[in-house]
Structure 1
């Protein structure tokens, strides 16, 4: 029987608990420094202890996963700590489409896929000299918001960039991506696409809490201006959100368009969990500034199921459990190759 494996970080507890609930064996690739934490949880059957997650690239680790008949579930830590080439070199079957993770990690490719999907996106700003209004500056890949900053002028861009370089938050050689800042209510739309059923499922919505940009709102403006620190967008946690029902049709339309675009641009397409991330403005219009082509940590708030999944399943269904259910159904029907790459 197939086992479910993942890296010990991000949403590993949800993934492995869901797999255990589905009757599958569970494997955690765990850094030695976190072994004590993960030993607390009884649903983890096996641990592969490593000094660094990079060891999953080594033959010894991959042979161990192969012996255990493992499917690897990718999440944000995999993307944050490894290059696209390294991820694509992993021989262990990976749930979903490992090739699309390159499109998530590269800002230009990400923008191309979002345009292909006809998602409403903020205007990209080609160079710092083109800044004429408030922009947000982002790093490549899954940085969890760390190193992002706002700027309203070219001068402010260079000042903040140089400060973050001096603090060691970003490197001077990093290619940063600039886009116009979209204001509104943050909404991270979580989906699951099943290639077995050829159906899109809307899983839920979360909001992300970023430190210390959120805390600035509680400080008088004159004190904010005196601060010498570049505010951080580092994600600390997540909270649930339920949308007005009238918005759901557009949510499904965006999800369908994204799945269709992914099929055209990066075979076999957007299989499994993904997230379209953005804001709703005062007219309830959505602007999407990101996508994540795998499970997102915001699904952790729905370990007992989301309001939207309660409409689709007459049982508690986390995203981790939904992934395991797909793997189990694929194995039963001899279609594991349809849900892994």
Structure 2
């Protein structure tokens, strides 16, 4: 096939590369030196480009000529939205202008997308002084700025007490509180819904559900309650993996509703709208309401749980389970066949 598929070698790249190979595409992976081993070990990469820094991908974009680039979270974080929108010359599968809306602060944020869609989300607070109930505070770590320095607090006083303690431990910076996202803590069961919006087939597909595995939250959960109380750990929320999940069938009506609402809202706010995969992360309350607390406007990391297996609901569309990486390749292949590649890239 004349078109190749390229990806930054991180996050969900193996899923994308494997799916591309399944559909007969040549593959290109762009890795950072010292983090390329998996992409050498697994035989799904036809060309491995190794750079000293991920940001160098803009300068070395000529090495991706003839490819369609599939963005992931690592690409957005390490390369940056301005460079992606203005400097990166390679056709991107999906809407490159939607990537910056994954943030929680600033004029382009996913709270605004959810509000436009009429989707319930946690209440947010502009400052610690406004907090009047249990909250989760979302801000970066002090040193590893791409990792999460999240913490939970009962009220305003507990928030400040915990923030000072975490800052003293070197885990967060107190000055980051002014730009932190402070959300009402909504208790319930957590799920990630992985969707695919298809211009070629003119439909929204629900592919799978997954859940996050976080360190050291996962380890704390495994401790008996008495040990948790004795240790009183400052729980951290570093995402290290995902696991497959299912949702009771009677709730699928609501899942499709928020999926369609999100697609319609993005079509109004961020032209040309949603193209390809996106993930809505939500809590199911005991009242069976869905409260969306996070959005991934690109392939979600949790789709890795279905690499080589395929999302459980994808079989209902395709007659066989396919991974999200393969679903992306199917869309690109169909766009090439119809001569409409410009309809799935920006």
TM-score (norm 1): 0.92
Quick one: structure 1 residues 164 and 93, their matched pair in 2 at CA, closer, same or farther if it must change by over 3 Å?
Answer: farther
By how many angstroms is 1:173 displaced? Answer: 4.5
* Pairs within 5 Å for 1:217-236: 217-221=221-225, 223-225=227-229, 227=231, 229-236=233-240
* Structure 2 residues without counterparts, runs of 5 or longer: none
Which of 315, 322, 335 in structure 2 is aligned with 1:330?
Answer: 335
Aligned to 1:64: 63
Which of 292, 295, 306 in structure 1 is aligned with 2:311?
Answer: 306
| More deviation, 296-305/223-232 | 223-232
CA distance in 2, matches of 1:26, 1:146: 32
| Alpha carbons 1:144, 1:234 under 8 Å: kept | no
Deviations 1:37-69 (A, max 9, x none): 3211112100111111111122xx111112xx1
Which of 187, 199, 206 in structure 1 is aligned with 2:203?
Answer: 199
Provide the aligned length of Structure 1 versus Structure 2.
Answer: 336
CA distance in 1, matches of 2:224, 2:131: 27
Quick one: structure 1 residues 310 and 128, their matched pair in 2 at CA, closer, same or farther if it must change by over 3 Å?
Answer: same
Aligned to 1:134: 134
Aligned to 1:81: 78
Aligned to 2:160: 158
Quick one: structure 1 residues 78 and 136, their matched pair in 2 at CA, closer, same or farther if it must change by over 3 Å?
Answer: same
Aligned residue for 1:34, secondary structure, equals coil
Aligned residue for 1:39, secondary structure, equals helix
By how many angstroms is 1:92 displaced? Answer: 1.1
By how many angstroms is 1:85 displaced? Answer: 1.1
Aligned residue for 1:231, secondary structure, equals coil
| Alpha carbons 1:144, 1:235 under 8 Å: kept | no
| Alpha carbons 1:84, 1:105 under 8 Å: kept | no
Aligned to 2:219: 215
By how many angstroms is 1:169 displaced? Answer: 4.0
| Alpha carbons 2:104, 2:181 under 8 Å: kept | no
CA distance in 1, matches of 2:147, 2:134: 17
Aligned residue for 2:259, secondary structure, equals helix
By how many angstroms is 1:145 displaced? Answer: 6.4
TM-score (norm 2): 0.91
| Alpha carbons 1:145, 1:232 under 8 Å: kept | no
| Alpha carbons 2:312, 2:321 under 8 Å: kept | no
Aligned residue for 1:287, secondary structure, equals strand
Root-mean-square deviation (CA, aligned residues, Å) is 2.0
